[in-house]
Amino acid sequence: MKTLFEKIIDREITAQIEYEDADCIAIHDIDPQAPVHILVIPKVLIPRIAESASFKPEILGHLLQVAGKISEQLNLEKGFRLVINNGEDGGETVPHLHVHLLGGRKLKWPPG
């Protein structure tokens, strides 16, 4: 069965796309936790960061570079946060690795 993100990548479900290239897609989160909340998702299915060792490390680096590029496009020069959830206790709700780009307001620490 396809994940929610695979269905978005395959255009079976619509999403507000902020960025896309051959390796990833970046969409606006439907339940934003900050004024800017973008999900940067690899097009290859990596279930979670703890299972990423068998994939090309360039994929993970690319996700971070894309997040940086998007932060510039969205004028987040005052700061932003990148989050990767892993497992139920880590807040993972979709078993498809993705990077949360959060910004547009002052973020507190610890986050939760």
Per-residue model confidence as pLDDT tens digits over 43-71: 999 999 999 999 999 999 999 999 999 99
Q: How many angstroms separate the CA atoms of 69 and 8, rounded?
A: 21
pLDDT at position 22: 98
- pLDDT mean over 14-30: 98
Percent of the chain whose predicted confidence (pLDDT) is above 90: 96
Q: Hey, what are 7's tokens?
A: 């269905």
Q: Could you give the residue numbers annotated as active site? A: 98
pLDDT at position 95: 96
Residue 50: DSSP 8-state: G
Neighbours of 26 (CB within 10 A): 24
Per-residue model confidence as pLDDT tens digits over 64-98: 999 999 999 999 999 999 999 999 999 999 999 99
Residue with tokens 């902020």: 18
Contact call for residues 100 and 29 (beta carbons, < 8 A): yes
Sorted by where each begins, the domain ranges of the chain are 4-103
Q: Hey, what are 9's tokens?
A: 């990548």
Cis amide leading into 42 (omega within 30): no
Q: Which fold has domain 4-103?
A: HIT family, subunit A (3.30.428)
**Nearest partner of 42 among 27, 58, 63, judged by Cα:** 63
